[in-house]
Amino acid sequence: MKKSIKLVTCLFLLLSLSIQAQQNNQKHCDAITLNRSIQFDGSSDTEEIKVEVADSAKKLYVSINSTIKSGYLTVEVYDPKGNKKGNFSIESQVKSSNKKKELVCGQMQKHIDDPIQGNWVIKLIPNNVAGDVSICTSMM
């Protein structure tokens, strides 16, 4: 089910790119889409995902989906100058046992016009996290 949600989100993102290109009457449209999936198994190690944006990019789309079973996760997005452009945190609050389990889902979608050229950074800051994060980035 959660993979279906991730797939639908990425497909929606791609459809949005296509519609935007048609609305702008562009004769030639180049788009790059990258998908990443990171799995955590009780981790507390910060991960930084770099997204290189060329100066020819007119739009940057970032979609981040996370599902955790336990722990606390913060997700932050930074531009190449180190300015935070968005963040969210999710936390499991129910102690898992044989009789109860909790899945917490969080999402963030960013649409940035005329993004700054360089390495954008998506920082994943887990605290004893078991779960996964899916990152979909697209540039036009």
Condensed to tens digits (0 to 9), the pLDDT of residues 19-56 reads 555 555 444 557 889 999 999 999 999 999 999 999 88
Q: How far apart are CA 139 and CA 32, in angstroms?
A: 5
**CB neighbours of residue 60 within 10 Å:** 22
84 CB contacts (<8 Å, ≥6 apart)?
Answer: 76, 77, 78
Give the pLDDT of residue 31: 83
pLDDT tens profile 54-107:
988 999 999 999 999 999 999 999 999 999 999 999 998 887 777 888 999 999
C-alpha to C-alpha distance for 85 and 57, rounded to whole angstroms = 17
Whole-angstrom CA distances from 35 to 7, 39, 41, 66 are 10, 14, 20, 13
Could you tell me which residues are beta bridge partners of residue 112? 60
CA–CA dist 92, 100 (Å, integer)? 12
pTM attached to this predicted model: 0.78
- CA–CA separation, 6 vs 81, rounded Å? 29
Give me the residue spans of the domains in the chain. 2-139
Tell me the CATH class for 2-139.
mainly beta
**Six-digit token string for 34:** 């990258």
Residue 15 has pLDDT above 70, yes or no: no
Instruction: Considering only residues 38 and 13, tell me which one the structure prediction assigns the higher pLDDT.
Output: 38
Contact 101, 108 (CB under 8 A): no
Indicate whether 18 pLDDT > 80: no
In the prediction, which pLDDT does 25 show? 45
